[in-house]
Amino acid sequence: MSVAIHTGKRVAPIDYTGVPAPYVGKCSAVCRTLLECQELVRHFGDAHFAPFLPVLVMVPGAPAPTAITGLGYATAAELQDCAVVTWETQTGRLAKTGQFLDFDTLRERHGLMRREEVDTATREALRRRIAKHKANPITDPPRQPHRPNPTQKTHFTVEKEAPHAP
């Protein structure tokens, strides 16, 4: 017969000040500075510890905290590396553009037009459409909704027959 001895491990208390209400009590650590991100392994006490609850990285100026989830598979060392990279990426973006996301770079990457050109392009497209409609008001009716025919059958309208006169 074997006897299991359960020992308790002292976990550092988490300061939930400033944490949004839905996250209170549902995270394993909160990082508010780069130093706290770099000391996550020390917070958990073991580099091989794998917490089930996420680690919150709260960068000042970011619209919301970033949750790094380990789900019991990622070790504290891996979570620490992810937290440090997240902190440095977000603070770098905030220092570079003053915003959390650089929308101009994202537009360029996806092949969209620049923000300054959108207004004039929309106005020109509407002017062309109006001119086309004024030139052909009969043959250019307003757009009709297109309903697909999934069965590919031809439907004929059935006219009502006139009653036969005796």
| 12 SS3 class | coil
pLDDT > 70: what percent of the chain? 81
pLDDT tens, residue by residue, 143-159: 665 677 777 776 665 56
**Looking at residue 164, what is its pLDDT?**
64
What is the domain partition of the chain in residue ranges? 21-98, 106-135
- The yes-or-no verdict on residue 8 having pLDDT over 60 is no
DSSP three-state, residue 49: coil
Query: Tell me, what's the pLDDT at 128?
Result: 92
Across the range 33-50, mean pLDDT stands at 91
Q: Cα separation of 47 and 40, whole Å?
A: 9
Distances (CA, A) of 150 to 88, 147, 153, 154, 156: 52, 9, 8, 11, 16
| pTM exceeds cut of 0.75 | no
Is the model more confident about 162 or about 134? 134
Q: What is the pLDDT of residue 149?
A: 73
The string of DSSP letters for 137-164 reads: TTTSPPP------TT-----PPPPPPPP
